[in-house]
């Protein structure tokens, strides 16, 4: 009998405690409600994410040049594909071109399509037909030898890519049994 | 009379004729070998198509060389340094698919002063914060970060590419 009363007391005490906790929780929640016509401040924290530029670009461009190639463009070039891997539009420029013609006796560099008999000119052209080497020199962006230049080659959209070819020509007296090096330095920047 | 001629023939003329015939044959074969057989195969010949004749083949070879030279990298275009001597968030990355070592050099555009040079970054690694090698005054600096690529196998130089960045030193 005594145990029964104790059990009943414990049940009532537990139920009362639960009701009190519940009522307090509801009260706390209701305290957050704003009465009509009042105002409150909300702290908003913004963090500036750094702009990361991520690209794939050639560090060296090999090519062959020969008078026996048909058309105005005398260069066999690989497909030079430059890719952006970030959400940043990217501008691709040539900042400097190191040219070494010491292997070609009496040969000099030309900055344009009109070459003398002992001259060589090299530049870049965007791909117009997929997987086809350009045959003409129209629209070529010509490289300057051993001089700083800011030659914009192409612009990439976010996560975009662009393909270029090396193009160029050579004069009739340039010896064909030797090699020379043309080393452009590509520089990418936020467009 | 007849016997004398026969004796001479057997004893002298016949052997001389045989020796002459043998000599003539030897001279014939010797001179034929010396003058050259038009059908003799050239020892210096290489089997296959002459390199450089097929433009498509040449382009494929060049493509292979170019693919080896491709480098990937990431960099923060606007790193910030609290002070000239503190670390800044340059965030350099050499992605795992690069298969090359990268060394980064940063030059101030106006003065061409080298202000930072990293050690070699292996493929699949990054540096989040760096301290510059030169102490810079507060201000904004246009600079170029050059990524120099080296082969993993023998550490030989492949080539380089650059990225324009703007450095900010706050105080």
Closest approach of A188 to chain B, Cα-based (Å): 5
The first and second tokens of residue A85, run together, are: 């891997």
Q: Note down pLDDT in tens along chain A; length 191 residues.
A: 566 776 676 666 666 665 555 545 444 444 456 677 777 788 899 988 899 999 999 998 999 998 888 899 999 999 999 999 999 999 999 999 999 999 888 899 999 889 999 999 999 999 999 999 999 999 999 999 999 999 999 999 999 999 999 999 999 999 887 888 899 999 999 99
- Report chain B residues whose CB lies below 8 A from the CB of A185: 146, 160-162
A126 to chain B, any CB pair closer than 8 A? The answer is no
Give me the pLDDT at residue A30, please: 47
Please give the residue that has the higher pLDDT: either B23 or B89. B89
Please give the residue that has the higher pLDDT: either B63 or B22. B63
Closest CA to A104 of A183, A167, A181, A166: A181
Give me the pLDDT at residue B17, please: 76
Task: Give, for A19, the enclosing helix (H) or strand (E).
Answer: helix A2-32
- Over residues B1-21, the mean pLDDT reads 74
A191 to chain B, any CB pair closer than 8 A? The answer is no
Give me the pLDDT at residue B51, please: 66
- Report chain B residues whose CB lies below 8 A from the CB of A78: 59, 62-63, 65-67
Q: What is the ipTM of this complex?
A: 0.75
Q: A89: exposed, middle or buried (C-beta count within 10 Å: 0-12, 13-18, 19+)?
A: middle
- Report chain A residues whose CB lies below 8 A from the CB of B89: 50
Confidence bin at B147 (pLDDT 50/70/90): very high
Q: Where are the domains of chain A?
A: 1-32, 55-190
Give me the pLDDT at residue A38, please: 76
Give me the pLDDT at residue A19, please: 55
Q: Which 3-state string (H, E, C) describes chain B?
A: CHHHHHHHHHHHHHHHHHHHHHHHHHHHHHHHHHHCCCCCCCCCCCCCCCCCCCHHHHHHHHHHHHHHHEEEEEEECCCEECCCCCEECCCEEECHHHCEEEEEEEEECCCCCEEEECCCECCCEEECCEECCCCCCCEEEEEEEEEEEEECCCCCEEEEEEEEEEEEECC
Distances in Å between the Cα of B102 and the Cα atoms of B123, B141, B162 are 8, 23, 12
- Over residues B58-74, the mean pLDDT reads 92
Task: Give, for A166, the enclosing helix (H) or strand (E).
Answer: strand A161-170
The residues facing B169 across adjacent strands are: B81, B139
The first and second tokens of residue B109, run together, are: 């555009």
- Report chain B residues whose CB lies below 8 A from the CB of A76: 55, 58-59, 62
Q: Do A78 and B77 touch (CB under 8 A)?
A: no
Confidence bin at B31 (pLDDT 50/70/90): low
Closest CA to A142 of A73, A80, A188: A73
Give me the pLDDT at residue A176, please: 83
- Over residues B84-113, the mean pLDDT reads 96
Percentage of chain B modeled with pLDDT above 70 = 89
Give me the pLDDT at residue A13, please: 67
**Rounded Cα distance, B125 and B95, in Å:** 7
Closest CA to A117 of A132, A103, A129, A107: A107
């Amino acid at each position: 009998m005594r145990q029964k009363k104790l059990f009943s007391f414990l049940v009532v005490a537990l139920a009362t405690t639960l009701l009190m906790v519940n009522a307090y929780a509801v009260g706390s929640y209701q305290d957050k409600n704003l009465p009509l016509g009042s105002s409150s401040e909300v702290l908003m924290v913004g963090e500036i994410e750094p702009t990361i530029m991520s690209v794939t670009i050639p560090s060296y461009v090999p090519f062959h040049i020969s008078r026996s190639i048909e058309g105005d463009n005398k260069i066999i070039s690989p497909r030079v594909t430059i890719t952006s891997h970030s959400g940043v539009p990217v501008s691709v420029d040539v900042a400097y071109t190191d040219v070494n013609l010491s292997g070609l006796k009496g040969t000099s560099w030309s900055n344009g399509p009109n070459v003398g008999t002992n001259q060589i000119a090299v530049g870049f052209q965007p791909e117009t037909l997929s997987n086809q080497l350009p045959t003409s020199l129209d629209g070529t962006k010509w490289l300057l030898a051993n001089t700083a230049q800011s030659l914009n080659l192409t612009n990439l959209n976010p996560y975009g890519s662009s393909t270029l070819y090396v193009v160029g020509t050579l004069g009739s007296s340039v010896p064909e049994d030797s090699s020379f090096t043309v080393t452009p330095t590509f520089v990418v920047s936020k467009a | 009379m007849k016997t004398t001629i026969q004796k001479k023939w057997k004893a002298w003329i016949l052997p001389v004729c045989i020796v002459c015939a043998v000599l003539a044959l030897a001279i014939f074969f010797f001179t034929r070998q010396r003058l050259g057989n038009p059908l003799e195969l050239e020892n210096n010949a290489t089997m296959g198509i002459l390199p450089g004749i097929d433009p498509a083949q040449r382009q494929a070879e060049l493509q292979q060389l170019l693919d080896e030279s491709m480098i990937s990298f990431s960099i923060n275009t606007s790193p910030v340094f609290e002070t000239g001597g503190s670390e800044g968030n340059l965030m350099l990355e050499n992605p795992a698919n690069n298969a090359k070592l990268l060394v980064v050099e940063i030059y101030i555009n106006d003065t061409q002063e080298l202000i930072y040079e990293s050690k070699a970054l292996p493929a699949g690694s990054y540096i989040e914060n760096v301290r510059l090698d030169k102490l810079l005054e507060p201000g904004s600096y246009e600079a170029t970060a050059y990524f120099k690529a080296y082969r993993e196998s023998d550490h030989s130089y492949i080539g380089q590419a650059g990225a324009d960045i703007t450095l900010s030193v706050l105080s």
